[in-house]
Amino acid sequence: MEGTKLTYSLVVLACFVAFIPTLNAQEHDDEAYWKERALIAYNHTLSAYKPYPHLVTAHTNEAVHRMLKASANDTRRSLRGHKYKGPCITTNPIDNCWRCNRKWADNRFRLADCGIGFGKPAIGGKGGPIYVVTDPSDDDMINPRPGTIRHAVIQTGRLWIIFAHDMTIRLQQELIMTSDKTIDGRGARVHIAYGAGITVQYINNVIIHGIRVHDIVRGSGGMIRNSVDHFGFRTESDGDGISIFGSTNVWIDHVSMSKCSDGLIDAIEGSTGITISNSHFTDHNDVMLLGASNSQVKDKFMQVTLAFNHFGKRLIQRMPRVRFGFVHVVNNDYTHWNMYAIGGSQGPTIISQGNRFIAPINDRLKEITKREYAKEPEWRSWNWRSEGDLMMNGAYFVESGDPASIDKFERDFNLVKAAKGIEVPMITKFAGVLECLPGKKC
């Protein structure tokens, strides 16, 4: 018996020793693979960067003004109160582009024409096949089953991903997407929950729309397929709801997010060309991180639009927290924070226009802004401007930088100012996931 055990142990040891070179080779191949992907992604970052970002902010503002001018006063009155149960009404230019067409399900690609801000170039899977997710399971990381969301997102080329019915998808590991994809939850109640989150790494052209992402936990890591022709070893994932890593032209719209282990949305490592719009965030501490490292200077190319979102109940901080980069925060509703709303370090430009800020009751938490890792002589040069914001319950925004910077650019280019913060309750009325049924207006 002892001899048998010894023989078995020697066989296992020999197999393990033989496996070590295979692991080392896999690690070497993975390193080379991701280095090449990172280089390609950085070239996308340089191409997506807008040298005159104020032209993008002005285009967003102009679209809102056109929408408001077209809406009648009786429409605005009908939207007062917490719940609206009347006929389909749109309150911002994104929704006005597609929402009140009862045949939206017959022309899902129309959504791709409706983006604004820095993420406007994202068209996702427009023009590609429609892939219907029928199976909510996620039990094979290397050879995912056809009909699952993991099988859908690794496919090559443009793909518009929809869902056959209501489902809760518990991801066993992070869901690693490929370029030119749309995840479109309209027509079903889709929850990504109780497992790992979505990873948008070193890719380009992605739309994520109409899904609920909540109760996300860290993935343990392991061998995971990230495309039809590659899989490799991944370390533990952070527990972000949506992680944007070195990616460009990304549009997140009408999502509802809460309770993730790390951030709800992170955009880091030179990600740019991003719009986050019409979304509803609740029940979280570190809501949104834009730039993760003080040493990652390629985040200077980061350009992000936050528009028409509702930052709601039981949020603490980082809405967003920014390093480097340029962020346009426009017509959002900040009804809750418990430390600060907008913060940053490393000299980012933050343009806050036409938002509504309702401060907490605590007198020590009235300030909207927070500068980190810099003394006042340094941060006084950072361009943080507030224009047309509605400050309520004692909220205040500490500005810095050139007080004439916005006016000068608007004057030189004959640009339109943002809609004022008093309009925000209407503009954000339908933030979060919409209840859309085929054949009916959303």
For the annotated catalytic residues, the residue numbers are 318
CA-closest candidate to residue 83, choices 432, 354, 389: 432
Structure tokens at 347: 């000299």
Strand partners, 275: 251, 305
**Which alpha helices (DSSP H) does 79-226 contain, by range?**
93-96, 149-153
Cβ of 78: how many Cβ atoms within 10 Å?
13
Residue 354 to residues 223, 288, 320, 410: CA-CA distances in angstroms? 46, 20, 16, 15
CA-closest candidate to residue 312, choices 289, 341, 291: 341
* E-only strand ranges, 10-90: none
CA-closest candidate to residue 265, choices 236, 244, 245: 244
Half-sphere exposure of 154 (CA within 13 A, CB side): 22
CA-closest candidate to residue 260, choices 202, 199, 203, 204: 199
Strand partners, 289: 266, 321
Antiparallel, parallel or unpaired: β 204-209 and 181-184: parallel
CA-closest candidate to residue 424, choices 358, 331, 352, 359: 331
